[in-house]
């Protein structure tokens, strides 16, 4: 494989939350101030985040950003930020909304999902994401629009995601895993392949 990836097969939501808690505790211990991470939307991450919210961490020093969001109000059911804030309510974490004018911080970890078409964050194939993008955040329109969330998106760009110290994926389903593995071997030019092909840090995948 072109990209060296640490795979963890068959991990439960609770086990992924344990891994995240251990990782965050380590990051909090080895640096002063805030530790920032970015997390995905969609259905997969929220049960994991609900487990993570039970962990004994210095939440007041954690800054959590959505890696992308739908262009809807925070109280809309399709808002990644709104759901993220609700899931982590009471932890004391700083949950920060993402918009077109955001200047995201340096991330200790970028947690990403992947669609069956190889999109990551809201970098869909039709948006032709570029490694040399001069912006950290872009507004764009997926094509086709996913029927379950037919909204414009705001998303972190490839260079912003690649600037994170480490990448983490949770990939559910054999079909998606096949696309991910092909991307890691450089066998397609999907958005996930562009990201993995230029990653120089640690990459972990729970599948």
Q: Which domains are seen in the chain, by residue range?
A: 6-206 (3.40.50.1360)
* Side-chain-side CA neighbours of residue 142 (13 Å): 26
Average pLDDT over every residue of 41-46: 92
Q: Report the predicted TM-score, pTM, of the whole model to 2 decimal places.
A: 0.95
Cβ–Cβ contacts within 10 Å for residue 175, how many? 10
pLDDT at residue 195, rounded to an integer: 97
Report which secondary-structure segment, H or E, holds 110. strand 109-112
* pLDDT 10s digits, 119-176: 999 999 999 999 999 999 999 999 888 888 899 999 999 999 999 999 999 999 999 9
Please count the other Cβ atoms lying within 10 Å of the Cβ belonging to residue 204.
18
- How many Å from the N-terminal Cα to the C-terminal Cα in the chain? 17
**pLDDT category of residue 2 using cuts at 50, 70 and 90:** low
* Mean residue pLDDT across the chain: 95
**Token pair for 152:** 């414009």
DSSP string, 47-104: HHHHHHTTS---GGGEEEEESEEESS-TTSTT-HHHHHHHHTTTS--EE----TT---
Q: What are the angstrom distances between the C-alpha of 189 and each of 125, 175, 183, 192, 194?
A: 9, 17, 7, 8, 6
């Amino acid at each position: 494989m072109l990209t060296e990836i640490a795979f963890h097969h068959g991990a439960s939501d609770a086990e992924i939350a344990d891994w995240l808690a251990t990782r965050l505790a380590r990051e909090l211990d080895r640096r002063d101030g805030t530790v920032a991470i970015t997390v995905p939307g969609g259905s997969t991450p929220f049960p994991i985040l609900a487990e993570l919210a039970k962990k004994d961490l210095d939440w007041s020093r954690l800054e959590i950003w959505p890696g992308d969001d739908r262009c809807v109000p925070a109280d809309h059911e399709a808002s990644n930020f709104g759901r993220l804030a609700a899931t982590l309510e009471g932890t004391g974490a700083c949950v920060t909304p993402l918009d077109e004018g955001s200047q995201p911080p340096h991330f200790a970890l970028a947690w990403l999902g992947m669609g069956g078409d190889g999109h990551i964050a809201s970098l869909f194939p039709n948006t032709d994401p570029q490694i040399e993008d001069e912006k950290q955040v872009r507004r764009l329109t997926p094509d086709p629009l996913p029927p379950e969330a037919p909204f414009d998106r705001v998303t972190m760009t490839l260079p912003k995601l690649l600037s994170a110290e480490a990448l983490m994926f949770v990939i559910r389903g054999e079909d998606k895993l096949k696309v991910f593995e092909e991307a890691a071997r450089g066998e397609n030019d999907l958005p996930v392949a562009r990201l993995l092909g230029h990653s120089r840090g640690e990459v972990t995948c729970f599948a």
